[in-house]
């Protein structure tokens, strides 16, 4: 499912227009992005939580030349699925 298909599904489920649903989805994504970028965690009970993680600097190899390179430390985004989401995916939701 891509973003447009998600907008279509939510609009059909709520009865709202696709334009308003698209704006709402963009606002939710923007709010989550800004919160995680500044180091906050976003928890959506029953769905999951988004947080920021760290990846340490390390050495690696250039696959085309075999030369050893240094890979810089980086921030990452972590998503941890909530229990209800895991149960729905595994088919044990009642």
* Shared-domain flag, residues 83 and 46: yes
pLDDT digits (tens, 9 = 90+) for 21-60: 999 999 999 999 999 999 999 999 999 999 999 999 999 9
pLDDT at 92 (0 to 100): 66
Co-location of 46 and 77 in the same domain: yes
What pLDDT digit, counting tens, does each position of 69-91 carry? 999 999 999 999 999 999 999 98
Average pLDDT over residues 7-23: 96
Over 60: is that where the pLDDT of 7 sits? Answer: yes
Both 68 and 23 in one domain: the answer is no
Domain with residue 73: its CATH number is: 4.10.520.10
Number of domains in the chain: 2
For residue 83, what are the domain limits? Answer: 41-94
3-state secondary structure string, the chain? CCHHHHHHHHHHHHCCCHHHHHHHHHHHHHHHHHHHHCCCCEEECCCEEEEEEEECCEEEECCCCCCEEEECCEEEEEEEECHHHHHHHHCCCC
Cα separation, 77 vs 53, in Å, equals 6
pLDDT over 70 (residue 94): no
């Amino acid at each position: 499912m891509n973003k447009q298909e998600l907008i279509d599904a939510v609009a059909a489920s709520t009865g709202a227009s696709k334009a308003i649903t698209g704006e709402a989805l963009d606002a939710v994504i923007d709010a989550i992005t800004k919160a995680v970028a500044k180091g906050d965690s976003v928890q959506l009970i029953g769905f999951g939580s988004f947080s920021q993680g760290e990846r340490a600097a390390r050495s690696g190899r250039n696959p085309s030349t075999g030369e050893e390179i240094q890979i810089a430390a980086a921030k990452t985004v972590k998503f941890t699925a909530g229990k209800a989401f895991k149960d729905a995916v595994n088919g044990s939701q009642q």
